[in-house]
A and B are shown apart, each in its own frame.
Chain A
Amino acid sequence: MLSFIARRTLLAIPVLFGIMVVVFLLLRAIPGDPCTAMLGERATEAACDRFNAANGLDESVFVQLVIYIKNVLTFNLGESIRFSRPVTQLLIERLPLTTELALSALMIAVGGGVPLGILAARRHNTIVDTGTMAFANIGVSMPVFWLGLMLAYFFAVVLKGTPFALPPGGRLSAGVFPVPYYEVWGWNLTKGSFWARSNEYISNHYIFNTFITAQWSIFGDAVRHMILPAVALATIPLAIIARITRSSLLEAMSKDYIRTARAKGAKESRVVTRHALRNSLLSVVTIIGLQLGLLLGGAVLTETVFRLAGVGTALFDAITGRDYPVVQGFTVVIAAGYVVVNLFVDLSYGYLDPRIRQK
C-alpha cells in the first residue's frame, strides 16, 4: 500500500506542472492586457510602460514563465495588480472560507446522496424509488443561485422569529470576531514569518478555529451562516451522487456473488452493506471526486448570492479585471487542490479494491 501511495503521489507532480504552464500561457494568449484593464482604455503608452515594468510584464513571455515557476516553488505567488497586496495574503484570507463551504457542501451531498441512492435501490420500482429519482432530477435542474436566493428568502423572511430562522448572508454576524487559536493559547509568533502565516491561514477556518478553542457561541454563529450556502451548493452534487449510487447498487445487486451471499444465509443488511455497497462504491467515489470542479464553479455563484468573500468571488473579480497574478496564483492552488482530491480518490480505489494496489 505504501509504494502504491508513493507512486500515485509522484504521478501528480507533472500534472501540476502542466497546469501551471497552461494557465500561464492561456492568460497571455488571450487579447486584452492588464494595463488597460487597470489604468483604463485611455492609458497613455508611457503610463503603460511604467505599469508593465513595475509588474514585470515587460520581460519576454518565456522569462516571465521561468520567473513565475521559480516563484511558485518558493511559495511566492506575486502581488495582486489590483489590490497591491501579496496573492498569498489574499489566499490566506479567502481560501479558508471556500474550503469550509466546499467541505460542508460535500458532506451534505455525500451524507444525503448516498443514503438516498441506497434507499431508492433497495425499494426499486416503488413509490420511494420514483419519488427519490424525481427529487434527484429536479435537483440537477435547479440553478444554484436561484435555490440560494429562495432558501435565503424562506429562512430569513418567512421563518423570521422562529427558531429555524437562518441568516441570509455573510460569514458571521456583525461585530462577531473569533479569536485565533494561537492567541487563545498564548503562542508567541513572529509576525510575517512563514509559521505565523500558516497559523493565520489555519485559524481563518472559523468553524474549525472556534471549535478547537471552544468559543461555542461564535462557533454556532459560523455554522448557522454556513448552512444555507452549503445546502444550496450541495444540491446538484447530492442529486448526482444519489443517482449514481442507486444505479451502481442496482447493478451490483444483480451479480452472482449477491446470490451466493444470500444462499449462505447472510442477513440482508449484511449482503447490502458488505457485499453490494462496497463493490458499488468505486463509481460513487469517482463521481464524488469529479464534483469538485462543479463545486468550484458553483462556489462563484453561491458566494455571490450569500455575499461571501471567498475564492470564487475573488477569482471572478480577478478574471474580469485581468489581475494576472491573482488568477494564476488562485488557479494553481485550486488545481493543486483538484489534483490532491483526485489523489485521494485514487488512493481510496486502492483501499476499496485490493486488485488495483497490485497493478
Chain B
Amino acid sequence: MSKKKTIEILEASAREATLLTESPISQWALTLKRFRGRRSGMIGLGIVMFLVLTAIFAPLISPYPPNEVLIGKEDVSPREKPCVHVLGCDAENPQHILGTDANVRDEFSRIVFGSRVSLTLGFFTVTIALLTGSFLGAVAGYIGGWLDNIIMRIMDVVLGFPSLLLAIAIVSVLGPGLRNALIAIAIVAIPSYARIMRAQVLSIKETDYVAASIALGATPRQILLRRVVPNALTPLVVLATLGVATAILEAAGLSFLGLGAQPPLAEWGSMLANERNNVFTSPHLVFFPGLAIMITVLGFNLMGDGLRDALDPSLNK
C-alpha cells in the first residue's frame, strides 16, 4: 500500500471519528428520545408529574385543611353533595366542589392531600423492596451455591402465595396501620426484584469486562457496585415504576379492609372504605377517592410501559 493511500485512509477514519464525537448521543439520551416518541408513556409521565405537583402544593391547592371539621363554621351538613358555583350551584351555599364527608370535612381538600400519602407510600415501599430485593438477588447470583438456593427458594415460597393474602397475614401480625401496611407490601414485592437482579447478575458476571476487572484485582464488592449494578439497572427501573402502581393499589386494598391507614389520615383507600355503606346515598364519597386511586395507578402503569419500550430497543419494531 502506497504511503499516500495510507494517509488517505487515516484521514478518513479521523474524519469519521470527529463526526462521531461531534454529536455524541448517550444511551440515556437515546432512551429519552425513544420515550418521547411513545404517546402513552408521555401521558403517564404527565399524570405522574401532575400528581407530584399536586402533592407538593397541596396546601395551596386545597381550600381547607384536610382534617378541618366545618361544623359551626359553615352552613353545611355531613355528606353534602358537590357544589360548584360555576356549574349552577346556589352562590349562597359554600363551595365544596367534591362535597363534604361524614365528618363535614371538605372532600376535595382531603383528596388533594391524599396524593401525598399515596405517593410517599408508593415511593417508600418500592425503595425498600428494590434495595432489599436487588441486594438479595445480587448476593444470590454473584455468590451462588447453597446461599443462592436458600435465598431463591424463600423467594419462590413468597411468590407462591396470592400477594394480597400474604400482605394481610403480615399486617395481622404487625398490627394495622399505614407503616405496617407499607412494610407488608414491600415484603410481598421483594421476590420480583430479587429474581430480576439475580438473572442480570448471572449474565453480567460472565461478560469480558467483569473478567477484566477481576484480572485487575477488583474486589467482589467493587465488581458488584461498579460493574454489575449499573448494568442491571434497566429492568429494575421499569419494574420499580410499575411497582409503584401495584403498591398503591395494594395499599388501598389493605386500607379498604381496615388494615392500612387509620382515621383521620386522608388516605384514598380508607376514605372510600369509611363510606362504603353509604354508597347508595352519597356515591360521590366513594367515587372520587377511587377515581383518584385509578388515575394515579394508571399514570404509573403507562409510564412504566413507556419506559420499558424505551429502554428495550429490541421491542421497537
**Chain A 102-144: CB-based contact to B (< 8 A → 1; otherwise 0):** 0000000000000000000000000000000100011011111
State how many residues of chain B have any CB contact under 8 Å with chain A: 39
A140 touches B301 (CB 8 A): yes
Interface residues on A, range: 35 or more
B173 touches A30 (CB 8 A): yes
Please give, as numbers and ranges, the residues of chain A lying within 8 Å of B168 by CB-CB distance. Answer: 300, 316, 319-320
Which among B272, B290, B301 has the greatest number of chain A C-beta atoms within 10 A? B290
A238 on interface, CB distance cutoff 8 Å: no
Q: A298 CA to B257 CA in the complex, in Å?
A: 12
B294 touches A297 (CB 8 A): no
CB distance from A123 to the nearest CB of B (A): 17
Please give, as numbers and ranges, the residues of chain B lying within 8 Å of A19 by CB-CB distance. Answer: 160
Please give, as numbers and ranges, the residues of chain A lying within 8 Å of B129 by CB-CB distance. Answer: none
Q: A22 CA to B168 CA in the complex, in Å?
A: 17
A297 touches B290 (CB 8 A): no
B302 on interface, CB distance cutoff 8 Å: yes
Q: A13 CA to B168 CA in the complex, in Å?
A: 27
A301 on interface, CB distance cutoff 8 Å: yes
Q: A293 CA to B162 CA in the complex, in Å?
A: 5
A146 touches B172 (CB 8 A): no
A63 on interface, CB distance cutoff 8 Å: no
Q: A283 CA to B283 CA in the complex, in Å?
A: 40
B245 touches A141 (CB 8 A): yes
Task: Choose, from B23-31, B140-148, B228-236, B248-256, the stretch at the interface.
Answer: B248-256
A207 on interface, CB distance cutoff 8 Å: no
A142 touches B294 (CB 8 A): yes
From B173, B256, B293, give the contact of A301 (CB < 8 A): B256
Please give, as numbers and ranges, the residues of chain A lying within 8 Å of B301 by CB-CB distance. Answer: 137, 140-141
How many residue pairs, one in A and one in B, have C-beta atoms under 8 Å apart?
Answer: 108
B164 on interface, CB distance cutoff 8 Å: yes
A294 on interface, CB distance cutoff 8 Å: yes
Please give, as numbers and ranges, the residues of chain A lying within 8 Å of B286 by CB-CB distance. Answer: 146, 149-150, 153
From B161, B163, B280, give the contact of A156 (CB < 8 A): B280
A68 on interface, CB distance cutoff 8 Å: no
* Given known contacts A138-B298, A316-B168, A143 and B162 CB-to-CB distance under 8 angstroms: no
**Chain A 294-331: CB-based contact to B (< 8 A → 1; otherwise 0):** 10111011001100000000011001101000000000
Q: A198 CA to B173 CA in the complex, in Å?
A: 35
A22 touches B290 (CB 8 A): no
* Given known contacts A153-B286, A304-B257, A319 and B280 CB-to-CB distance under 8 angstroms: no
B32 on interface, CB distance cutoff 8 Å: no
**Dominant secondary structure at the A interface:** helix
A32 touches B173 (CB 8 A): yes
**Dominant secondary structure at the B interface:** helix
From B160, B279, B297, B317, give the contact of A149 (CB < 8 A): B279
Please give, as numbers and ranges, the residues of chain B lying within 8 Å of A144 by CB-CB distance. Answer: 253
Q: A164 CA to B298 CA in the complex, in Å?
A: 30
A276 on interface, CB distance cutoff 8 Å: no
Q: A157 CA to B245 CA in the complex, in Å?
A: 31
Please give, as numbers and ranges, the residues of chain A lying within 8 Å of B165 by CB-CB distance. Answer: 296-297, 300, 315, 319
B298 touches A293 (CB 8 A): no
A31 on interface, CB distance cutoff 8 Å: yes
Residue of B nearest to A305 (CB): B276
Please give, as numbers and ranges, the residues of chain A lying within 8 Å of B305 by CB-CB distance. Answer: 137
A152 on interface, CB distance cutoff 8 Å: yes
Within 8 A of A (CB), among B125-149: none
**Chain A 148-180: CB-based contact to B (< 8 A → 1; otherwise 0):** 011011001100000000001000000000000
**Chain A 321-347: CB-based contact to B (< 8 A → 1; otherwise 0):** 010000000000011000000000000
Please give, as numbers and ranges, the residues of chain B lying within 8 Å of A142 by CB-CB distance. Answer: 290, 294, 297
From B164, B256, B283, give the contact of A297 (CB < 8 A): B164
B99 on interface, CB distance cutoff 8 Å: no
Q: A298 CA to B273 CA in the complex, in Å?
A: 16
B57 on interface, CB distance cutoff 8 Å: no
B87 on interface, CB distance cutoff 8 Å: no
Q: A168 CA to B279 CA in the complex, in Å?
A: 11
11 residue pairs A–B, Cβ–Cβ below 8 Å: A22-B160, A32-B173, A141-B294, A153-B279, A153-B283, A294-B162, A297-B162, A300-B257, A305-B276, A319-B169, A320-B172
Given contacts A143-B297, A254-B317, 7 further A-B contacts (CB under 8 A): A140-B301, A143-B252, A150-B286, A304-B256, A319-B172, A320-B168, A320-B259
Closest 3 CB pairs of A and B: A146-B290, A297-B164, A141-B298
